[in-house]
Amino acid sequence: MTIEEARSKGVFRTVVNLWEAWQTTEQPTDQERDLRDFYGESWVELREPTQAEAVRLGDPLKDPKAADEVIPGCIVGHNFHHADEREASAREVWDLIRGSATLYSHVVQTWLRSIPLVRRSASGSAGSPPSTSMADAGPTSR
């Protein structure tokens, strides 16, 4: 295996569907249905953070400044573009996400809970809700 191949394929990634932020188990309101329809097939793909990024990130729900510094660099794909068909930058997509508390919470929680190290750490504490903090994941080998 080449080092380039390991860097591109050996990192965990997850796709977060934005419309799921308004998916409810109860009867959705008209506005929730409208937002779900509006975001339709919109998605963002994030790679797992490096060890240094994970330390800096801590709990992004409590430290949005750290999230603003780390998460845009973890966005590796999305399907957003401008009216003239230019692809939106990762920073522009992140700015869109953080412009809505619902989207922000959904993306951050879905992303962090999908990372295997965080899932293993969260499953160790029975009765506790899964953590959204990289700090709770413990040390990593990167």
What pLDDT, on the 0 to 100 scale, is given for residue 139?
Answer: 41
User: Are 97 and 84 in contact, with CB atoms under 8 Å apart?
Assistant: no
Residue 127 reports pLDDT greater than 50: no
Residue 138 reports pLDDT greater than 50: no
What pLDDT, on the 0 to 100 scale, is given for residue 46?
Answer: 96
Domain assignment of residue 102, yes or no: yes
Domain assignment of residue 9, yes or no: no
User: Are 52 and 66 in contact, with CB atoms under 8 Å apart?
Assistant: no
Domain assignment of residue 119, yes or no: yes
Count of domains forming the chain: 1
Domain assignment of residue 41, yes or no: yes
Q: Which amino acid is at 93?
A: V
Report pLDDT digits (tens) over 69-118: 999 999 999 999 999 999 999 999 999 999 999 999 999 999 999 988 65
Cβ atoms within 10 Å of 8's Cβ, excluding its own: 11
Print the domain residue range for 139.
Answer: 31-83+97-123+132-142
User: Are 49 and 75 in contact, with CB atoms under 8 Å apart?
Assistant: no
pTM for the predicted model, two decimal places:
0.75
Report pLDDT digits (tens) over 2-60: 888 777 766 889 999 998 887 766 777 888 888 888 888 899 999 999 989 999 998 88
